[in-house]
Homo-oligomer: A and B are copies of this chain.
Amino acid sequence: MDYRFSDRVSKLKPSAIREIFKYASDPAVISLSAGNPAPDAFPVEAIRKCSEDVLREQPIDALQYSVTEGLPALREDVTAFLKNHCNVATPGDSVLITSGAEQIMDLLSKSVINEGDTVVCEEPSFVGALNSFRSYNAVLKGVPMQEDGMDLAKLEEILKSDSRVKFIYTIPNFQNPMGITTSWEKRQGIYALAKKYNTLILEDNPYGDLRFAGEAIPAIKTLDTEGRVLYSGTFSKTISPGMRVGFAAGGSELIQKMVVCKQGSDVHTNIWSQLVIHRFLRGWDFEKHLKNLQKIYAKKYEVADHALKENAPLLQYHPIQGGLFIWCTLPDSIPMIDYCKKAVLNKVCVVPGNAFLTDENKPCQSFRINYSSPTNEDLARGIAILGKLAAEWPNA
């Protein structure tokens, strides 16, 4: 039959990017396009043990329906972690366990966005979040990124002129896709502007615990005294993305609306996985585990950094101190999309930078590579192929 789709999805159409990804499923292709944690970073043995204990001691709890808010004991773990590890403890806040952090984007959008309302985001930004906002017919307005975070003058310009802004979306640590970390000054600036123009902040922090160099900078959420910041966290990068367990901390009234929306979305998050993560956090040394992860990522980044310097000197990139991504920029003489298409034909898949823009049709000279999921050998070989491709580009 001829389906009549909603306006929000009928606009979506296959793009040049998806065309590139078609080739990525070829096992001969080195994928530098994923956002996957390093496979050797998963605490497999601990998870096995925790799961055994859960299924032996409380199988019915793990298999039966549970509450939408999330396992109370895991919500307590998260509250304690946010307080002790991140110095986050806004009075009157509560915690919601979600099916990965992506669901936080969805539930916040559902709770606050009327069609045509505005979401302000970093430009470029995480395409999964942008698509979630788009699916509620939000208008996306991008703020250009500088070395230390959003251009605050541009941010204020938008907030001043647009009364329909519902929230500012930011990834302050090792931003996806640029790897940029927002400075403490700019974090304070973003909070002050949100307060001045009375809007919410969605602070997305999936990568904060993957810092392998430099000093940690406090979350914007640490400045929050009134539930203005919805903090989005996840166990996807630190324990397992396959389990789909994230967490949001925000004002109770806001969280309560998100709970109602979640009830109509998936009722609750997989409770077996919640119980396993709870046991892991209580029974294992999570801080030690994080330190181990950071070591793994430091080593992998060393490989990427070395390969970029040695074998791909034409690719400019922003050095990173953590996270999963490196943002590479081509010389103006090389057309980015053509380059990415040719890269995949040469068996290396990267993500064209325009995928991360509020308007995919804007010009873009950059692409994103992921250094965490390929093996060190594939990583070095993939970057060398990218470097060679740039060096040998006709008339470049």
Contacts and interface: CB of A to CB of B under 8 A. Distances in A.
Interface of A: 1, 3-9, 12, 34-37, 39, 42, 44, 47-48, 51-52, 55-56, 59-66, 99-100, 102-103, 105-106, 110-115, 117, 128, 131-132, 134-136, 166, 198, 200, 226-228, 236, 240-244, 251, 253-254, 257, 260-261, 263-273
A110 B10 CA distance: 11
- Per assembly, the copies of the chain total 2
Contacts of A12: 257, 260
Contact of A47 (B47, B63, B254): B63
Contacts of A244: 99, 266-270
A371 to B, nearest CB: 16
B8 A265 contact: no
A9 B60 contact: no
10 contacts: A1-B198, A1-B200, A3-B257, A36-B65, A39-B60, A64-B242, A99-B99, A99-B270, A105-B264, A244-B268
A65 B241 contact: yes
Contacts of A63: 42, 44, 47, 240-243
Given A270-B270, A270-B273, A112 B242 contact: no
Nearest to A135: B264
A115 B137 CA distance: 11
A263 B44 contact: no
A48 B42 contact: no
Nearest to A62: B242
A266 B103 contact: yes
B242 A66 contact: yes
A128 B55 CA distance: 29
B263 A128 contact: yes
B266 A100 contact: yes
Contacts of A136: 6
Nearest to A111: B9
A267 B59 contact: no
A265 B64 contact: no
Contact of A7 (B55, B106, B114, B267): B114
A126 to B, nearest CB: 11
A38 to B, nearest CB: 10
Contacts of A113: 6
Q: In this complex, which of A59, A63, A132, A242 has the most chain B Cβ atoms within 10 angstroms of its Cβ?
A: A242
A392 B270 CA distance: 44
Contacts of A273: 270, 272-273
Nearest to A245: B270
A225 to B, nearest CB: 10
A301 to B, nearest CB: 20
Contacts of A269: 244
A117 B8 CA distance: 13
A4 to B, nearest CB: 7
Contact of A110 (B9, B263, B268): B9
B64 A3 contact: no
A5 B112 contact: yes
A64 to B, nearest CB: 5
B135 A242 contact: no
Contacts of A166: 4
A257 B5 CA distance: 8
A47 B42 CA distance: 22
Given A42-B59, A243-B272, 8 more contacts: A1-B251, A3-B251, A39-B60, A61-B242, A131-B263, A135-B261, A240-B272, A270-B270
